Amino acid sequence: MAGPTGVIPRLAGLIKRAPGGANACRALVRIPGVVAGCRFLAGPRAEIARWRKFRAFRRDYGRLLSTPTASATTGKTLFVSLSGDLLAATSVELLMIKAIQARGGQCHVVTTMGAPTNRYYRLARATLAHFDDYEARARRDAKPDAASQAMADIRTQHDLITFSFQGVNVGKYACSTLMRQLRAGTLDLGNETVRERVHAELTHAFVTVAAASRLIEELRPDTLVFLERGYMPWGAFFDLGIQRGLNVVQWCGCHCEDALMLKRYTRANQDQHPASLSSKTWATLSETPWGQKEQEAVREELHRNYASGTWFSEVGTQFNTRLAAAEEVRAQLRLDPAKKTAVIFPHLFWDATFFWGRDIYSDYREWFVEAVKLACANPALNWLVKIHPANTVKNHRDGHSGESSELQAIRACIGDLPDHVRLLPADTTISTYSLFGLMDYCLTVRGTVGIEAAAFGVKTLTAGTGRYDHHGFTLDSDTRDEYRAHVMSLHNVPPMTPREIELAQKFAYGTFLVRPFRLTSLRFGFSRDKVATPKLEYTIRTPEDMRKAEDLRRFADWVTASRDEDYADLPCLET
């Protein structure tokens, strides 16, 4: 006998196939409690846990979040959430909503019918816009052969990435989305199964673009706020917002706990990383006097977060690691003391692929394979390949028990590594911070580690744009041939000059000390468990606390009144 998890989809399918069934399904899920009831049948324990968590949240914060909103005077903000069951992100957005409402703004949230987080948004008196309603209408109007026509001209991954529809980069978003779903480092468009998956992604993408466009036209928001923006359906809203000249803002986590990054996007910067520095921020930092105090502030920020294990704790990058002296690590890894040392820091091949800038290789996997091959061919250096530490937490979250994509790529494309090339696994106990004292060269496409390494005087080679390249302290390449030449002669590349180190430290200061938006109304961090479970707690409890919250006022002012690209906590900048 089929269990509840099988009965519900089959029942929905039967209703949809009946005359007028699609409308009946939509009407059914609008009845209060129907979706929750279905979730209960499918997984009673999980649904009971959701309700208990919500009741506790409502008990603690219901009065705070139900504070009446001010008269609408500052426009309409649309939170492109679609967070489903992500309570951590929702908890952050609830305070953002209340901050904007207190300034006289109307807040709408893009969600789906029956999403578990909807009840939380209702607590905050936000208006819900059910995206599945808009998708249903767009699906009825969609051309049935549109994806097939598009696929006729898409033969390679490059063709897919550069494919757009109504000004939206649907190919790039579809490719990134599919790579994340498959945990694939590249897509072989010559494979029929892959082509079928891409066809399905494009079919959905066309519907998403039409639905998002209609939703924006009907609600007419002034501001769009995102956490996610590089996958579908968020990417469609992002590009459409840019096209229409809306106030487009992204928020995301940063290197430390209790802080966020806030970035405003326009056509001019839409491919920039959210933690990048705007020309205005960088110009101000470049002209700022630099001395021992500022240098120590950068090093202290890095050391404190690495030593405590909170460095990008959202994905557990430094869980179960320890700091060690360079001599100890060099001996442990049996590095040749007569040689300089270069470290390759790969990106997760399938995570946030194609989000930012321009790469000189087709994807992160192709760059990684090329970099390791070049390392193998250059025995003049000690080489370390440090598998991305986020693999460990993300594997547990995804229920993945196999080896990392990096190791798979090495086995498939390179084989056994020579003695001068050593691997550091994702779960190594050696802290990344401990490598800065022994390495001479850092190789990455655009990873955060390049900023850190350069601030310690380590020459950093980039292989892509969109973040900190071409700021005077990295070794950048415009072509693959140029990159190969740099790597093969890397042992002859001189150390960073004092001026280059100063620029790198200023950039690190801007990234790690100026850009973060420090929260005081919310404490959040991540448990040191296998999935880095979020820990959140509001520090404000009453409407009066809300009114006095300086961080919420600064957030609302920056989102609704400023037009600066960066939120930057620097006295000489307008924030």
Where in 242-381 does DSSP place strands (E)?
247-253, 259-265, 341-344
pLDDT reported for residue 570: 80
Return the SS3 of 380: coil
Consecutive H or E run containing 160: helix 157-161
pLDDT reported for residue 5: 43
pLDDT reported for residue 46: 82
Altogether, the residues listed in the chain come to a count of 575
pLDDT reported for residue 1: 36
C-alpha span between 425 and 404 (Å, rounded): 9
Name the one residue in this structure whose structure tokens are 């693999």.
Answer: 391
pLDDT reported for residue 36: 60
What lies within 8 Å, CB to CB, of 336 at 6+ separation is 382, 420
Domains of the chain, earliest start first: 288-517 (3.40.50.12580)
Short-list 66, 73, 64, CA closest to 106: 73
What lies within 8 Å, CB to CB, of 85 at 6+ separation is 50, 115, 116, 117
pLDDT reported for residue 271: 95
pLDDT reported for residue 549: 97
The answer to whether residues 194 and 147 touch, using CB atoms and an 8 Å cutoff, is: no
pLDDT reported for residue 23: 58
Q: What are the mean pLDDT values of the chain's consecutive 10-residue runs (575 residues total)?
A: 46 56 56 61 80 95 88 88 88 97 96 94 97 96 93 97 97 97 96 98 98 98 97 98 98 97 98 97 95 96 98 96 96 97 98 92 97 99 98 95 94 98 98 98 98 99 96 98 98 98 98 97 95 96 94 97 94 47
Token pair listed for 389: 């530490």
